[in-house]
Amino acid sequence: MDVAARDDRPGTGSGGSDRNALLQETTARADTPVSAHAAAAHGGASRSPVLLDVGILLLRGLEMISVAVTAWISAAVALDYMPAGLARAYSNAALIACLFYAALAEVTGCYDIDTRFSVRTGWARVMTAWLSTGMFLMTLGFLLKVSGDFSRGWALAWFAMGGCVLLAIRAGGTAWMRRLKKRGVFNHRVAIFGAGSQGDRLAKYILGNEKLTIDLVGFFDDRLPERLPDREVLLPLYGNLGDLIGRIREGLVDQVIVALPWSAEKRLQEVVAELAITPVRIRLAPDLATFAFSQRPVVLLGDLPVMTLFERPISGFDQIIKRIEDIVVGALATILLSPLLLVVAIAVKLDSPGPVFFRQEREGFNNQRFRIWKFRSMRSDRCEPDGITQARKDDDRITRVGRILRRTSIDELPQLFNVLAGEMSLVGPRPHAPSTKAGDRLFSDVVSHYAARHKVKPGMTGWAQVHGWRGETDTEEKLLKRLEHDLYYIENWSVLLDVYILSRTAITLVLQKTAY
């Protein structure tokens, strides 16, 4: 990093006066909205950042107390008479619910940063915690054999009233915190050390993120203004590291984010060492390349934070579930369809000379090739194991029986063998031959990220097929639509989605007119 010499700093000869003039000119060029934003950082608004933590603490207490209060109110409303011996049992149930809800609310993230100013997110997590609390109480009552001692009317009234009160408290608390946030009450005054491209990108991100409780003070840098690159965010440039420390000593800065290139390791250590003696929070901004992946999660590899750029889709326990789904459903389908498979095999053999099955190389999971099973639907002397041409309407290569098989997709049924062998899945992107083309170009040449569909096993049917994107892919537009649907399936997989696709496949096959 290009760092200015010590004589470039204010107060050290003629260079200091020139720098002061340039800094004043840079500050004057700041646009009005950002200048107002920076002015708030200097104490223009009444601030109390700790009030946000106090508000969250109050919200925790109110929600916890409301669980017990609604239990007692529901008992007064739903019960005409409560025996003295059961009063203690009802009180114990309310106390257990309070404690369990408080624990679940923490686990489900009811008070995390992303819920503090969002009613929708807060409501979703509060209801998750409350539903789980109700299920826990029912399970506990069943195991202890005391559920019969409690009134069902009271339980239902408590569950309904408690949920409504929790939602009302959360809505009121969120509205209160959002109102204070707009006034800047929660905001921390943050200075950015480093006025280069990295600092500019950081400032742009902060100013564009409404969830952050930050007032930007401005930039600080050891370089002269004329030696700095142009910035999109025209925050004031106030001085060098010494000026920044001076403002910290005056109580005008709550937090410093160091936005220097990570490659300038020595300079980073020097700056951090000088800032470390000040009583403010010091943070390191991400390097420029990190901004391109700002939405990616950061996890700990031991004690080292690393960024997860891409996860393997359908992995871990999901992978086991999908494989069980393929084996169970695939085996049942093979057994139930075995009479049909036998009849079709005989029909293929009698219709034209040649083998019953047609096997061809396809690209599967991780771009690994495998040989797919299909009933032969073309004349044996016209089959193309390599360099294939996709079937078209009225294709003279297709046999009489083959036309029926392709129209109903019965020719695909032997792929159940591939499913049971683990080479394919029941649902997934359809496997294509490596030599298949859209127009005159290979699929992989049309779309650079075409191989992304190979992150999962190919399927007998898929999201694209039930939306009509099957049959001949003779144009690049059709290929792009298929890929779009395949990637949607990969990113949104669930067992329910597989069930939905399988259930729609039968209907789609009857109405589909694009398979030749």
**What pairing do the DSSP bridges indicate for beta strands 369-375 and 357-363?**
antiparallel
183 band by pLDDT with thresholds 50, 70 and 90? confident
Of 148-157, 249-258, 289-298, the least confident: 289-298
Count of CB atoms within 10 A of residue 306's CB?
11
User: In the prediction, which pLDDT does 421 show?
Assistant: 94
Q: Which two tokens stand for residue 245?
A: 């420390």
Closest CA to 69 of 86, 94, 101, 37: 94
Q: Which two tokens stand for residue 291?
A: 């901004």
Which residue would you say has higher pLDDT here, 340 or 41?
Answer: 340
Helix 119-144, helix 84-107: angle, nearest 10: 140
Q: What is the mean pLDDT of residues 341-355?
A: 91
Which of helix, strand or coil describes residue 471?
Answer: coil
Q: Which two tokens stand for residue 97?
A: 């619910």
User: In the prediction, which pLDDT does 3 show?
Assistant: 36
List, by residue range, all CATH 3.40.50.720 domains of the chain. Answer: 6-47+187-303
| Half-sphere exposure (Cβ direction) of 447: Cα atoms closer than 13 Å | 19
User: In the prediction, which pLDDT does 32 show?
Assistant: 36
**What pairing do the DSSP bridges indicate for beta strands 188-193 and 214-220?**
parallel
Which residue would you say has higher pLDDT here, 132 or 409?
Answer: 132
468 band by pLDDT with thresholds 50, 70 and 90? confident
Question: CB burial class (10 A; 0-12, 13-18, 19+) of residue 325?
Answer: middle
User: In the prediction, which pLDDT does 449 show?
Assistant: 57
Q: Given strand 255-258, what is the order of strands in its sheet?
A: 237-239, 214-220, 188-193, 255-258, 281-284
Question: What's the CA gap between 161 and 69, in Å, rounded?
Answer: 10
* Cβ pair 399, 380 in contact under 8 A: no
Which residue would you say has higher pLDDT here, 242 or 44?
Answer: 242
Average predicted confidence (pLDDT) for the chain: 80
Which of helix, strand or coil describes residue 215?
Answer: strand
Per the rule left: phi > 0, alpha: psi between -120 and 50, beta: everything else, 309 is alpha
User: In the prediction, which pLDDT does 34 show?
Assistant: 47
393 band by pLDDT with thresholds 50, 70 and 90? low
Question: What's the CA gap between 173 and 191, in Å, rounded?
Answer: 30
19 band by pLDDT with thresholds 50, 70 and 90? very low
Please tell me the class of the 6-47+187-303 domain: alpha beta
Q: What is the mean pLDDT of residues 212-231?
A: 86
Per the rule left: phi > 0, alpha: psi between -120 and 50, beta: everything else, 471 is left
Contacts of 494 (CB under 8 A, 6+ apart): none
Q: What is the mean pLDDT of residues 158-169?
A: 94
User: In the prediction, which pLDDT does 439 show?
Assistant: 54
User: In the prediction, which pLDDT does 173 show?
Assistant: 92
18 band by pLDDT with thresholds 50, 70 and 90? very low
- Residue 297 reports pLDDT greater than 80: no
The pLDDT tens digits for 443-459 are: 555 565 566 777 889 99
- Residue 8 reports pLDDT greater than 90: no
